[in-house]
Structure 1
């Protein structure tokens, strides 16, 4: 199996491979431990056949199951180190669901709700990408926000977005 690995600055890594059944798997490995998996029939496809996201803990458990052993389990410190990326910027995607307190708030207002500075650098809305949204753009149900900031600020912002 041939793996293609690409650095995603501020995000992590993208690893792509084709399995024996001809299905392409794209893994986005975020610095914060989150993993996104996309399964495509062709590597040029825009829409995946299936996708899923795993937390850092779920990723560790899956890796252990795939290896068939609990020996040499990675320690939390190594994952924390990757997440911090030497305290540089962290980029993450935050889904806005129907119960989120962010719905119908402006980008500027949403950014101010976090105690530490975060920046909403893009909004994925249906099939559209709103890059560098102005402070007066309103956040809608179903939007996915691309957020930039330090790890603590991004995590706090994600938690705020989950509140009703």
Structure 2
């Protein structure tokens, strides 16, 4: 099981996910908020057999079905803000380091507003909060800032 994030210049970002049984799914997030799900053939993980276009409302409804307790309380309708969950994987240079070491807000303009761990949530973590592999960072900012922060955290 694994995920991969690929910037698509001028388009948005592609997120690839491989399930435990080896099936590859893809989500392409366009700068304008549109999303496309891609389903790949099990015998050829590079061959896309179907795509589904999702409006931002469709994506929110699907996310609610998959994770009935998403991060809420951040109003982004009509604003140029996005909220995303960014996983801290073993490839990240920040596993085991302090949140302040990332200089995330200074470098990207996006803010880490919470850190989710397997057994707990840490809202509004300070610069002395120690990150761990497996954490999920809850990030708020512009599309560009959030993408830059995801690249920073993943070590790209």
- Number of equivalent positions: 105
Gap regions ≥5 residues in structure 2: 1-11, 16-23, 30-34, 40-48, 57-75
Give the TM-score, by structure 2 length: 0.52
Q: Pick closer, same or farther for the CA change 1:129–1:135 going to 2, 3 Å.
A: same
Q: Pick closer, same or farther for the CA change 1:87–1:109 going to 2, 3 Å.
A: farther
CA distance in 1, matches of 2:130, 2:149: 17
Cα deviation, residue 60, structure 1: 4.2
Cα deviation, residue 105, structure 1: 2.4
Alignment match, 2:5: none
Show structure 1 runs of 4+ deviating over 4 A. 32-35, 84-87
CA contact (8 A) 2:114 2:122 kept: yes
Cα deviation, residue 133, structure 1: 1.0
Give the TM-score, by structure 1 length: 0.50
Q: How does 1:54-93 map to 2 (within 5 A)?
A: 54-56=26-28, 59-62=36-39, 65=50, 88-93=80-85
CA distance in 2, matches of 1:148, 1:113: 10
Secondary structure, aligned partner of 2:108: coil
Bigger radius of gyration, 1 or 2?
Answer: 1
Q: Is 1:120 equivalent to 2:112 in the alignment? A: yes
Superposed CA offset, 1:144-164 (max 9, x none): 100111110110111121217
Gap regions ≥5 residues in structure 1: 1-31, 36-51, 68-72
Give 1 or 2: higher helix fraction: 1
Cα deviation, residue 116, structure 1: 2.5
Structure 2 counterpart of 1:132, from 108, 124, 133: 124
Alignment match, 2:101: 109
CA contact (8 A) 1:111 1:117 kept: no
Cα deviation, residue 112, structure 1: 3.5
Alignment match, 2:140: 148
